[in-house]
Amino acid sequence: MSSCTFRVFMIIGSTDEFIEIEELQRSQSNSDIGVYVKLKLQDFCGSYSGVFIGEPEISLFCEQLKSLNLSRQGFAKINSLTPDEFKLEIRSVGSLGKMEIEAQIHRHQYSGDKYWPIYLNGGFEVEPNAIEQLLFYFNDFLGEHS
pLDDT of residue 4: 41
- 36 pLDDT band, cuts 50/70/90, is very high
pLDDT of residue 7: 64
Cα–Cα distance between 51 and 109 in angstroms, integer? 15
Cα–Cα distance between 65 and 80 in angstroms, integer? 17
Pick left, alpha or beta for residue 31 (phi over 0 → left; psi -120 to 50 → alpha; otherwise beta). alpha
Q: Are 68 and 98 in contact (CB under 8 A)?
A: no
Q: What global pTM score does this model have?
A: 0.88
Least confident of 5-9, 81-85, 104-108: 5-9
How much is the mean pLDDT over the chain? 90
Q: Are 50 and 61 in contact (CB under 8 A)?
A: no
- 2 pLDDT band, cuts 50/70/90, is very low
Residue 116 has pLDDT above 60, yes or no: yes
pLDDT of residue 3: 43
